[in-house]
Amino acid sequence: KNEYVAIMGPSGSGKSTLLKIIAGSEKADSGVVEIAQNTRVGYLSQEIIFEEGESIQSYLKKISGLDKIESRMKEIESRLDDPKILEEYGILQSEFARMEGYSFDYRAKVILEGFGLRDIDSNRSLSELSGGQKSKVALAGILLKGFDVLLLDEPTNNLDLPALIWLEQYINKITVSCLIISHD
């Protein structure tokens, strides 16, 4: 915990591919990546995909995984008289609490403000944002996800100086290991 590693190398040398392999989004040609069971990996890729018409708030909940938990809780809450459903609801509620779902809106606001997005309504469509603002929202989503290991692939791309300073301070405060590719 609390270790910081920077990956440096020329363009095309495989830095991003290495992060993708560690994050589990790509397979290694050889060798094995071992990550302890139940380790939550936060991974910011250079390629960020948004759904058409998606709002900032819905994107952040989707990336964090809270949207699925909330949806399932709403789906089953009318059947809590069934002991199996009640047990499932309890498990979902525990996971929601572990993921800090009850403070999600507040944490989202703090992180978005840290990235200079204070004046942007969280119900606004991502398609209305600039490229830099979209990058900040994507990074906010990863930070809201909750993680034991943080993998950042050039997170400073499209960040202005205040957002860069805020990210550095944030990383210095968290107590997880970070693996970062950056040119800054």
- pLDDT, tens digit only, all 184 positions of the chain: 678 888 888 888 888 999 999 988 899 899 888 888 888 888 888 788 888 889 999 999 998 889 999 999 999 999 999 999 999 999 999 999 988 899 999 999 999 999 999 889 989 999 999 888 998 999 999 888 878 899 998 888 778 888 889 988 988 888 888 998 976 5
Distance of CA 167 to the CA centre of its chain: 13
User: What's the N-to-C CA distance of the chain in angstroms?
Assistant: 23
β partners of residue 180: 6, 152
Output the pLDDT for position 62.
92
Predicted local distance difference test score (pLDDT) of residue 106: 94
> Which pLDDT belongs to residue 103?
94
Element (H, E) at 162: helix 161-173
SS3 152: strand
Question: In whole angstroms, what is the distance from residue 135 CA to residue 76 CA?
Answer: 35
- pLDDT score recorded for residue 107: 93
Alpha helix locations (H) across 4-152?
A: 15-23, 56-64, 66-76, 83-98, 104-114, 131-145
Number of Cβ within a 10 Å radius of residue 57? 16
